[in-house]
Structure 1
Amino acid sequence: MTKVAVRRLGDISSFIRGITFKPTDVVPADTPSAVGCMRTKNVQTQLDISDVWSVDSGFVRRAEQYLEEGDVLISSANSWNLVGKCCWIPKLESATSFGGFVTALRGDENLVDRRYLYRWFASAGTQKTVRSFSRQTTNISNLDLKRCADLPVPLPSLVEQRRIAAVLDQVDTLRAKRREAIALLDDLAQSIFLDMFGDPDEGWLDVSVGELAVAGKNGIRTGPFGSQLLREEFTEEGVAVLGIDNAVQNEFAWSGRRFISTEKYRQLARYKVNPGDLLITIMGTCGRCAVVPDDIPLAINTKHLCCITLDRAKCLPEFLHSYFLMHPVSRRYLAQTAKGAIMAGLNMGIIKALPVRLPPLDLQQKYVSRVEKVRKVRAQQEEHLTALDELFESLQQRAFSGKLWDHEAA
């Protein structure tokens, strides 16, 4: 059995710094001497070519500053959580350079398979290490390329490197297809909603959200403010406390669990959350919306949420949830009324006044029945994606710790 080598990253590849230019140097793409220039915005999970700047070719000082197929483009100056993020460079249609706080990692093809190198650099373990090498300045983190060059890279034979990269590519392709299927199901749910409610009948009522809540001051409410609930009053178990994280995905999800004691709950019982209540985030990441599930344990909501208990003889929670997120009237109202790109001005008064073109209850029920079938399929796809994500992470760990290597072939 042959021992597999571990090589220093700087010995098998090179970090290539991009060109230096200013936003004022950008020229139209059809300028005769223009070349495309990738920057941090283009470094996504896959190379994003939807918004590529162009500069005069005179800014490219060295031939190596043109991207090659198989380069790994790295965000080398960014916010602390994004520095080191990378993507694979496919074959590009025209000569393209790079700059704007990105760096290219180019493997020596005699020593390392470039796809294997990309998979290693993009792996969770390497990304975590690379981020720890960043140097924080006032507004940005800069990647320490010298420290990165000293990273040890497990290096089986080129044949084995290609096999490992192919295995990871295959699973990653399956993950991408699951994500595409989930996105299509989301589009289907939206299409069903807009088909049924986007062009309302003249006989539908014009009401506000406030009119759809149950009677009484607790129909629409926020959580306890100020000294009513202090952070030090949270406990390890007891009555659940719901916050932004439970609604931020636009569907209810458990995240970090928070609790208060039964004794504290007695003081805050008016903030109780019921099955079928609608939760809308009004602080932090505003404008997200979720329906509380039927199996919710005893819980209250925080001041970061507006909680709505609907009169279900008028309006079903699932309908209003979709209306809030998808209906043109709702989206237009929120865009005009709330301030800022993340709805920084969203509050309970705005939500109460939100106009609703209310269809008959039987039509709402028909919609809920149709969309529930879509959501069941979506939940299955989510489960499959979770399993594939776990498999991919496991394969990465095994691949770069030597457990996927064919040592005889190496």
Structure 2
Amino acid sequence: MKAGWTSKPLEDACTFINGLWKGDKDPLKTVGVIRNTNFTKDGALDDTDIAFIEVEVKKFDKRKLFAGDIILEKSGGGPKQAVGRVVLFDKPEGDYSFSNFTAAIRVKSPDELDAKYLHKFLHWTYLSGVTEGMQSNSTGIRNLDGDKYKAIQVSYPSIGNQRRIVTLLDEAFADIATAKANAEKNLQNAGALFQSQLTTLFNRRAKRATHTTLGQATGGIFTGPFGSLLHKQDYIENGIPLVNPAHISQNGIEPDDRKTVSGETAKRLANYIMRTGDIVIGRRGEMGRCALVTDAEDGWLCGTGSFFIKPSSRCDAGYLVHLLRSDQCKQQLENIAGGAVMPNLSNTDLSNFALELPPVEDQKQIVAEIEEAKESVERLKSIYRQKLTALDDLKKSLLHQAFSGQLTQ
């Protein structure tokens, strides 16, 4: 701690207030309730979808939010997100409270400790991974250990220097936010550029294309096993993988070792075994999710949520994968599948899917050009991803400097 700074546990500097249970005893009052969904990854309050509900006046009076209160996420999180995010409540008026999955932190002496300074300190604490070691799991939800959190030591200089630090950080973060928005837009544009290149490549040889259907152009389309053929007890770990839509990514097939079957079960389902050169494609959920079966996946099983397409001499499998993944085909498949909640393709729908198929030699040339374009776009995306990572690292570095006494001047 820098000389002249004060340090004390959070529980000595602040009051902690547990979140609101709405109750049902009159009199009731309609108030805005801040929930976990109102927390952004940058530690800001997103007030676009605050829930307004009726709560007991008696309960609300003890949990009314005031400008300068900090709202702490004490339950929630997930496999890739620790619990313990914080947002600053800065609304000067209105009736607002906070859900039972959160708690409010209120500074006891605002003349000694600035709420905005404390919020940034706690946000930095979260980004540094401190709260990850303070959480426990309960029925899939992560819970923050309140006693450990309250014991966190907060160090701070004079109130004037705290406010100077806040101003410096706000100015720097505004510039970082602008730079991140530009990088994210460029990343998005790179993806759109690739899709535009795909459309151009697919349309370039349209004059030499033959009108056909997916069923006619391939060696046939086959549906994965119905649920009645596979039971919960059939699944084992580290056996022969089943390939469902969730296991198909832009990089190929990524199996779940927990969703596999024994060799005996695979023999029983021999009609659904996929071979090198087949294409596996999801029949429900996101349309166009497909991948080529390589030597590494030879002998794996088509899952209940997928189709597999057999190759033919008329169609290059790599060309077909790129075509089905394109935004143009995805939209057409979505229109055919219907179902706003869970689109679902039938075998007949997919077999009758219309294609303008160029000669095989043209298909192979298109694939080569697509791969070249893909490499170029991926290099571009990598640059923007690195920039986003660097900006996140810069933010953490500035926060570290601020709370180690290097940004007071």
Structure 1-normalised TM-score?
Answer: 0.61
Matches within 5 A, 1:243-254: 243=243, 247-252=247-252
Kindly tell me: are residues 257 and 17 of structure 1, through their superposed partners in 2, closer, same or farther at Cα, counting changes over 3 Å?
A: closer
Letter in 2 for 1:359: E
Give the distance between the partners of 1:408 and 1:43, measured in 2 at CA.
27
Kindly tell me: are residues 141 and 221 of structure 1, through their superposed partners in 2, closer, same or farther at Cα, counting changes over 3 Å?
A: closer
Give the distance between the partners of 1:79 and 1:300, measured in 2 at CA.
38
Matched-pair contact (CA < 8 Å) for 2:279–2:321: yes
Kindly tell me: are residues 190 and 377 of structure 1, through their superposed partners in 2, closer, same or farther at Cα, counting changes over 3 Å?
A: closer
Larger Cα-atom Rg: 2
Q: Which residue of 1 aligns with 2:353?
A: 356
Matched-pair contact (CA < 8 Å) for 1:36–1:55: yes
Matched-pair contact (CA < 8 Å) for 1:40–1:101: no
Kindly tell me: are residues 289 and 75 of structure 1, through their superposed partners in 2, closer, same or farther at Cα, counting changes over 3 Å?
A: same
Q: Which residue of 2 aligns with 1:66?
A: 65
Q: Which residue of 2 aligns with 1:42?
A: 38
Matches within 5 A, 1:1-12: 2=2, 7-12=8-13
Matched-pair contact (CA < 8 Å) for 2:20–2:100: no
Matches within 5 A, 1:110-189: 110-111=112-113, 113-123=117-127, 125-132=129-136, 136=139, 141=141, 143=143, 146-153=146-153, 155=155, 157=157, 162=166, 174-186=179-191
Kindly tell me: are residues 100 and 279 of structure 1, through their superposed partners in 2, closer, same or farther at Cα, counting changes over 3 Å?
A: farther
Measured against aligned partners, the alpha-carbon deviations of 1:332-364 in whole angstroms (never above 9, x if no partner) come to 33234xxx9355xx58836744x4232353898
Kindly tell me: are residues 407 and 156 of structure 1, through their superposed partners in 2, closer, same or farther at Cα, counting changes over 3 Å?
A: farther
Matched-pair contact (CA < 8 Å) for 1:245–1:255: no
Q: Which residue of 2 aligns with 1:237?
A: none
Give the distance between the partners of 2:86 and 2:407, measured in 1 at CA.
32
Deviation, structure 1 residue 331: 0.8
Q: 2:333 aligns with which of 301, 325, 330?
A: 330
Q: Which residue of 2 aligns with 1:30?
A: none
Give the distance between the partners of 2:210 and 2:97, measured in 1 at CA.
56
Give the distance between the partners of 2:382 and 2:244, measured in 1 at CA.
22
Letter in 2 for 1:45: K
Kindly tell me: are residues 144 and 384 of structure 1, through their superposed partners in 2, closer, same or farther at Cα, counting changes over 3 Å?
A: closer
Q: Which residue of 1 aligns with 2:381?
A: 381
Matched-pair contact (CA < 8 Å) for 1:75–1:102: yes
Kindly tell me: are residues 232 and 303 of structure 1, through their superposed partners in 2, closer, same or farther at Cα, counting changes over 3 Å?
A: same
Measured against aligned partners, the alpha-carbon deviations of 1:174-233 in whole angstroms (never above 9, x if no partner) come to 4454333333444566678799999xx9xx988654334236xxx65759x979x98566
- Unaligned stretches of 5+ residues in structure 2: none
Give the distance between the partners of 2:255 and 2:156, measured in 1 at CA.
40
Give the distance between the partners of 2:19 and 2:182, measured in 1 at CA.
33
Give the distance between the partners of 2:388 and 2:297, measured in 1 at CA.
34
Kindly tell me: are residues 297 and 351 of structure 1, through their superposed partners in 2, closer, same or farther at Cα, counting changes over 3 Å?
A: farther
Give the distance between the partners of 2:97 and 2:282, measured in 1 at CA.
39
Deviation, structure 1 residue 319: 1.3
User: In the alignment, is residue 213 of structure 1 matched against residue 218 of structure 2?
Assistant: yes
Give the distance between the partners of 1:22 and 1:251, measured in 2 at CA.
49
Kindly tell me: are residues 333 and 10 of structure 1, through their superposed partners in 2, closer, same or farther at Cα, counting changes over 3 Å?
A: farther
The alignment's C-alpha RMSD in Å is 5.8
Deviation, structure 1 residue 40: 3.4
- Unaligned stretches of 5+ residues in structure 1: 28-32, 235-239
Deviation, structure 1 residue 85: 5.5
Q: 2:52 aligns with which of 43, 51, 54?
A: 54
Letter in 2 for 1:41: T
Kindly tell me: are residues 230 and 247 of structure 1, through their superposed partners in 2, closer, same or farther at Cα, counting changes over 3 Å?
A: closer
Q: How many pairs are equivalent?
A: 371
Deviation, structure 1 residue 51: 2.7
Matched-pair contact (CA < 8 Å) for 1:18–1:99: yes
Task: Name the SS for the 2:354 alignment partner.
Answer: strand
Matched-pair contact (CA < 8 Å) for 2:290–2:325: yes
Measured against aligned partners, the alpha-carbon deviations of 1:253-286 in whole angstroms (never above 9, x if no partner) come to 768899x9xx99xx99x956647x6443469x77
Matched-pair contact (CA < 8 Å) for 2:65–2:89: no
Task: Name the SS for the 1:179 alignment partner.
Answer: helix
Measured against aligned partners, the alpha-carbon deviations of 1:318-337 in whole angstroms (never above 9, x if no partner) come to 1112268631x31133234x
Measured against aligned partners, the alpha-carbon deviations of 1:125-150 in whole angstroms (never above 9, x if no partner) come to 13423432x655xxx74845632543
Task: Name the SS for the 2:338 alignment partner.
Answer: helix
Deviation, structure 1 residue 49: 3.5
Give the distance between the partners of 1:187 and 1:72, measured in 2 at CA.
39
Letter in 2 for 1:10: E
Matches within 5 A, 1:91-106: 91-92=90-91, 95=94, 97-106=96-105
Letter in 2 for 1:361: P
